[in-house]
Structure 1
Amino acid sequence: MGVVLSEAEWTARRDAHAERVRRWTGPHHERKAAGRKHPVLDFLFSYYSHRPSRLERWHPGPGVVLEGDAAQAYLKWPVYRRTADGVTLDVEAFARERANTIAFTGRLLVATAGRAPRLGCFGLHEWAMVYRQRPEQVRHNAWPLRLGGDGTDRVVESQRVQCGHFDAFRFFTPDARPRNTLQPTRETQVDLEQPGCLHANMDLFKWAYKLDPATPSELVADCFELAARVRELDMRASPYDLADLGYEPVRIETAEGRAEYVRQQGAFAEDAAPLRARLIGLTRVLAHATTAPVAAR
């Protein structure tokens, strides 16, 4: 039957989750209403497609039964069903509907977890995204480049660019792409992703919400908070001058800055490992459900 939560228990978890993520969604709503852009935090809601309202919504995950009248509200989602004890996620129905996503996510996460972290890319992907661009072409052109256009280009030309993450590489400028030691594609994603990559660790949030509502919302929030922390390093190490927003640069154009980047990159790889393991466990539960006999209703 799984875990049975009383209405008092699960509504407390629901409310705690909403309060937790409103630290991020509340300011985002305020910025959007005022028409203000944020070069660091908007990424969490624009590049990633999980709407703030969905991030605030709580789901218990597989094997949890919600007691009480309030649980009936979950029946508006087809992947929930009634049981003799309350309302629960229909794991078999969800798994059949999302079998391809479950399988790909599991393959990617297992492959990534099985590799040693490779550190020392120094966040040059952000520099490669503005390499040899005119000022009006720069993505965050409301914010100056710390070293100017020419100085930014010299950093790219003086370093070994070695980005293996396709969803970062695809934003490289045409002149920057040939400078990358790898030429990642969507087809080689499972072969190339590794746990030292900042973007691979931010993307744990994506894989968590891709399996929504089967992912326990506490796990989604854990992955989101990691993504927010990693994004901060991502942009502190970028060519942009964001000091006015309170982001002191990690100056990867210097030996000291590169050492600091590697230190933080390694720490994030360690923080991401248990979250990746929890997501792998979820994909295995869901994959098993696709082959299990359908339970009697």
Structure 2
Amino acid sequence: MDGWLALHLARRRDGVKHPVHDFLFTYYSLRPAQLRRWHPGHGVLLRDGEPDRDYVAVDDGVLLDPAVLAKRAESVRWIHDLLAATASRPAQLGCFGMHEWAMVYRQTQAEVRHNSWPLRLSPAATAEVVNDRGVRCTHFDAFRFFTAPARPLNAHQPTRELQPVLEQPGCLHANMDLYKWAYKLSPLVESELVTACFALSREIRELDMRASPYDLADLGFPPVRIETPEGRAEYAAAQRSFADRAAPLRDTLRTRCAALLAVPLP
């Protein structure tokens, strides 16, 4: 974990922003110190461990405090149901990452979120790509960052309430969010699972921004030119690969939730 965190911590110390990897620590709320802390998961004895706010003393060591699960039970249920609903649907691979384009639609270079980095096309040409390709985003937490003129162009109008209805396993952001659900379940699930979800989210984020309208080649992220047929084919193939890799992590998280929900509460 330190290998992943070192560059982020150095940039944070120096006040340097990164348009790709900062997302893992700004949009997602887990702090680096929390990410580094290891947990074995619910029901595992830490031999000779010391009790603290999450762990209580038992014979030969410590166990996770039953109160942690009792406090999180409602969240565990919600996460379980969302993961199960998402997994029940076929992956949709026709969005081609247009959500990032919708986030800069009809904005000037000065107005876009990552305005220290140039757009690959002019604002007018960027808007033309959105108009020509359309937007088919199912993910509320991407949709809510669309510019106001872009929102009516989307084939869906996601809301938080509709998230369990619309979320589908081809969505890059739904698969990145496996990291969010894993750390929200921590310390009830093992840190190895959180780490695996973080690693996948980090890779997906790179594709997300390579397919965006930003020119990030100088950072080592060559563009996936989704405005071309070749770029769309490249994006869809990578999207399918990430959906396949996310599926077992989603299933493991769902299984962990189901096991936690079966534990009798005090």
Query: TM class by shorter-chain length?
Result: over 0.9
Shift in Å, 1:121: 0.5
Q: Does 1:53 align with 2:27?
A: no
**Aligned AA (1:180):** N
- Residue 219 of structure 1 aligns with which residue? 193
Aligned equivalent of 2:12, options 29, 32, 38: 32
- Residue 105 of structure 2 aligns with which residue? 131
CA deviations on 1:101-153 (whole Å, 9 max, x unpaired) are: 11110110000011111112000000000000122210000000001211111
8 A contact 2:76–2:261 mirrored in 1: yes
Give the 3-state SS of the residue equivalent to 1:88 in structure 2.
strand
Give the 3-state SS of the residue equivalent to 2:146 in structure 1.
coil
Aligned residues: CA RMSD: 1.0
Segments of 4+ in structure 1 off by > 6 A? none
Aligned equivalent of 2:247, options 273, 276, 293: 273
Shift in Å, 1:157: 0.5
In structure 2, how many angstroms separate the alpha carbons of the residues matched to 1:278 and 1:194? 17
Structure whose CA Rg is larger: 1
- Residue 11 of structure 1 aligns with which residue? none
Aligned equivalent of 2:47, options 62, 67, 70: 67
In structure 2, how many angstroms separate the alpha carbons of the residues matched to 1:174 and 1:214? 39
Give the 3-state SS of the residue equivalent to 1:251 in structure 2.
coil
Q: Does 1:287 align with 2:261?
A: yes
In structure 2, how many angstroms separate the alpha carbons of the residues matched to 1:265 and 1:293? 40
Q: Does 1:228 align with 2:202?
A: yes
**Aligned AA (2:152):** P
**Unaligned ranges ≥5, structure 2:** none
Shift in Å, 1:88: 1.3
Shift in Å, 1:214: 1.0
- Relative to its length, the structure with more helix (as a share) is 1
- Residue 140 of structure 2 aligns with which residue? 166
**Aligned AA (2:227):** E
TM, length-normalised to structure 2: 0.98
TM, length-normalised to structure 1: 0.88
Shift in Å, 1:85: 2.7
CA deviations on 1:72-100 (whole Å, 9 max, x unpaired) are: 1xx222x312221311113x322210122
**Aligned AA (1:80):** Y
Aligned length: 266
CA deviations on 1:190-231 (whole Å, 9 max, x unpaired) are: 000000000000000000011111121000000000000000
**Aligned AA (1:220):** V
Q: Percent identity?
A: 58
Aligned positions of 1:200-215 closer than 5 A: 200-215=174-189
Aligned positions of 1:118-197 closer than 5 A: 118-197=92-171
- Residue 15 of structure 1 aligns with which residue? none
Shift in Å, 1:293: 5.8
In structure 1, how many angstroms separate the alpha carbons of the residues matched to 2:186 and 2:43? 15
| Distance 1:99-1:128 versus aligned 2 partners, 3 A rule | same
**Unaligned ranges ≥5, structure 1:** 1-20
- Residue 76 of structure 1 aligns with which residue? 52
**Aligned AA (1:102):** V
- Residue 8 of structure 1 aligns with which residue? none
In structure 2, how many angstroms separate the alpha carbons of the residues matched to 1:22 and 1:150? 42
CA deviations on 1:240-265 (whole Å, 9 max, x unpaired) are: 00000010000000000000000000
| Distance 1:87-1:132 versus aligned 2 partners, 3 A rule | same
In structure 2, how many angstroms separate the alpha carbons of the residues matched to 1:153 and 1:101? 39
| Distance 1:293-1:168 versus aligned 2 partners, 3 A rule | closer
In structure 1, how many angstroms separate the alpha carbons of the residues matched to 2:109 and 2:218? 20
**Aligned AA (2:163):** Q
CA deviations on 1:236-289 (whole Å, 9 max, x unpaired) are: 000000000010000000000000000000000000011001100111121112
